[in-house]
Amino acid sequence: MKIIFIGKKTSKPKSISLASLILILFILLSLNIYLFDYFFKNQELNSNISVFKNNIENILTNDFQNNLRFNNTSFYTLLKTQYNNDNWKIELETPLKLQTFKRVDNYLNKEQNLSKLTFEPRLSVKKDLNAFWKTTFSASLKNSFGDINQLYYGYILNNYRNIQKYETPILESLRKNITLGISYRNPIKSLFINSFYSYGNSNQNLLFGNIINNNGTTSFDFFEQDNNSNTRNINLRGSKYFSKLKTILTLTTNATLDNKEQLLNGIITEITTKNIQFKGKLDTEITEWFNVEYKSNISISNTQFENQQSFDNIITQEHLLNFNFYPTSNQYIGFDTEYYKNNFSSQNQESYFLNLNYRYTFEKSRIDLELNWNNILNAKEFTTVFNNAFSYTQSTYRLRPRQILMSVKFSF
C-alpha cells in the first residue's frame, strides 16, 4: 500500500509524531476490507389445488395454480473494524449491498422487478467491569425482503383453516435493534447470571391482515401502507450448582411486549400482545446410579385490540419429572411423568402422562435393546391452547392408547 500526500510544497515539512503514526498504523491494521462479493439465488414454486367429487379429481385453474420463478442477486462490499484492549472489545461492520429481485409467473402472466441499495451497519461493544461482571451493547440496521413463501400469485391451502395468496409487491422491511446486557460469572461459587434487554423497531411497506369468514376459515389481506411494529423483550437467566446436594438449579424469566398494526376484516387495528414465561430446571444426582430431573414451564399470554377491553389471560403450565436409574454400566431404567394444565379450554384442562423406558446395551457389539411402555395411564385426549394476533385457538388431539414398543438400535 502506498500513501501519497499531495499539496503545496514547503521548505520545512511538518513531522508526524510517533503517537499519530502508531494510531494510523493501528487503524490500517485493524481494517478488514472485503472489496467485492456476489450472491445469486434461484427458486421455483409449482402448486395447484384439486377438488374431489364422486372420486373424480377436478384441478382448479387460474388463481388456484402457481408456476413461479424467483431470482435474487446481491453485490456487496464490507468494511469491518475491530478494537481490543484489556477491558474493551469493539466491532463495527458497514456492509453496502446492491440487491435485485425478479419474480415471474408465466402461467398467470404476472411479474415484478425490484432493485435496492441498502446500508446495514452493526456495532458491538463489550466491556469487562471486573473478573466477574461483564456488559454488552449492540445496535444494528437490517433490511429484509419477502422470499418465495411471501411472493406467490395463486392461492395455496396452508391448512384446513387458511387459504391465501400474496398478490402484493415484494415486501420491504427495515429493522432497527438495540440490545443491552449484563452478566455475572463466578466459577468458584458456581453461580452464573445473565440479563438482557432488547428493543426492536420494524418499518415495512405492506400492512398484512386477515379476513375471518362466516365458516370460521380465514383469508389473507394486505394494504400498501408504511407501518411500524415495536418489540420489547427482557430476559433473565440464572444457574447455581449446590455441591453438597449435587444439584443444579436453573431459573429463566422472559417477558415480551409487542405492538403492531394489522388489518382485521379491512379495518386497520393496533394490536398489543404480552407474554411472560417462567422456566425452571432442577437436576439432582442422588447416587452414582440414580438421579432426578424436574422441568417446569409456566406461560401467561394476552392480546388486546385498540380501544377494546383485553381478552382473558391464557395461562398454561407444563411440569416434567423424570427418575433415571443406572443399575449397571450397560442398563438404564427411566420413569417419565408429565403434567399439563391450561385455564382456557372447556375440557381436558388437566392432563397426566406416565412412561416407562428400559435400555440394555450390548457393549461389545454396540447394540441397544429398548423397551418403551408409553401412556401407562391410558389418557384419551390432549388439549392445547394458544393465541395469535387476532384469535385464540384450541386444539384437541386423540391419543394412542396404552402401548408397548420394542426396538433395536445399532451402530457400525
pLDDT single digits (tens) 27-40: 544 555 555 778 89
Please state the φ and ψ torsions of residue 258, each to the nearest 5 degrees: -125, 125
Q: Are 334 and 357 a contacting pair, CB within 8 Å?
A: yes
* 385/32 Cα distance (integer angstroms): 50
pLDDT for the residue 5: 31
Q: What is the mean pLDDT of residues 144-167?
A: 82
Does the pLDDT value for residue 212 go beyond 70? no
pLDDT of residue 28: 46
Considering only CA atoms, which of 290, 345, 338, 281 is closest in space to residue 312? 345
Beta strand pairing status for 218-242 and 162-164?
A: parallel
User: What pLDDT digit, counting tens, does each position of 352-370 carry?
Assistant: 999 999 999 988 888 999 9
What's the mean pLDDT in 264-290? 90
Asked if pLDDT for residue 407 goes beyond 90, the answer is yes
Q: What is the mean pLDDT of residues 55-77?
A: 88
What stretch of H or E contains 387?
strand 381-387
User: Grid coordinates in use for 74?
Assistant: 446481491
- At 248 the pLDDT is 96
The per-residue pLDDT of the chain, averaged, comes to 85
Q: Which amino acid is at 145?
A: F
At residue 209 the predicted structure's pLDDT band, cuts being 50, 70 and 90, is confident
State percent of the chain over pLDDT 70: 86
| Grid cell digits, residue 39 | 450472491
Over residues 280-287, the mean pLDDT reads 95
CATH of 119-410, one of 3.40.50.970, 3.90.226.10, 2.70.98.90, 2.40.170.20: 2.40.170.20
The helix/strand/coil state of 140 is strand
Q: Which residues contact 260 (CB under 8 A, 6 or more apart)?
A: 227, 228, 229, 230, 270, 271, 389
Is the pLDDT at 187 greater than 70? The verdict is: yes
Q: Do residues 374 and 387 make contact, with C-beta atoms less than 8 angstroms apart?
A: no
CA 343 to chain CA mean position, Å: 26
Mean pLDDT within 234-263: 94
Give the pLDDT score at 6: 31
* Residue 310 pLDDT grade (very low, low, confident, very high; cuts 50, 70, 90): low
100-114, 138-152, 260-274: the lowest-pLDDT one: 260-274
State the pLDDT at residue 243: 92
Q: Which residues contact 152 (CB under 8 A, 6 or more apart)?
A: 45, 47, 66, 68, 105, 165, 166
User: Can you give the pLDDT at residue 249?
Assistant: 97
CA distance 370 to 408: 6
Closest-CA residue to 66 (of 114, 103, 102)? 103
For the segment 238-258, the average pLDDT, to the nearest whole number, is 95
| Per-residue pLDDT tens digits for 122-136 | 999 999 999 899 999
44-49 mean pLDDT: 90
Whether pLDDT at 12 is above 60 = no
Residue 65 CB contacts under 8 Å (≥ 6 apart), including other chains: 47, 48, 49, 59, 107, 108, 154
Domain chopping of the chain, boundaries: 119-410
11 pLDDT more than 50: no
% of the chain at pLDDT higher than 90: 50
pLDDT at residue number 353: 95
Residue 269 scores a pLDDT above 70: yes
Q: Which residues contact 99 (CB under 8 A, 6 or more apart)?
A: 72, 73, 74, 75, 115, 116, 117, 118, 145
**Rounded to whole angstroms, how far apart are CA atoms 243 and 240?**
9
Would you state the pLDDT for residue 179? 97
Burial of 103 per CB tally in 10 Å (0-12, 13-18, 19+): buried
CB 209 within 8 A of CB 164: no
d(CA 389, CA 274): 11
Does residue 95 contact residue 120 with C-beta atoms inside 8 Å? yes
pLDDT at 17 over 80: no
Q: Label residue 262 by pLDDT band (50, 70, 90).
A: confident
| Cα(163)–Cα(217) distance, integer angstroms | 8
Nearest-5° angle of CA 76, CA 77, CA 79?
145
> Is 4 a residue whose pLDDT tops 50?
no
Q: Is the pLDDT of residue 23 over 70?
A: no
Distance CA 374, CA 384 (A): 20
Distance, in Å, from the CA atom of 36 to the CA atom of 41, rounded to the nearest integer, reads: 17
Q: What's residue 256's pLDDT?
A: 96
User: What's the whole-number mean pLDDT along residues 9-21?
Assistant: 50
Alpha-carbon distance 25 to 17, whole Å? 12
Rounded (5°) CA angle 405-411-412: 155
Q: How confident is the model at residue 114 (pLDDT cuts 50, 70, 90)?
A: very high
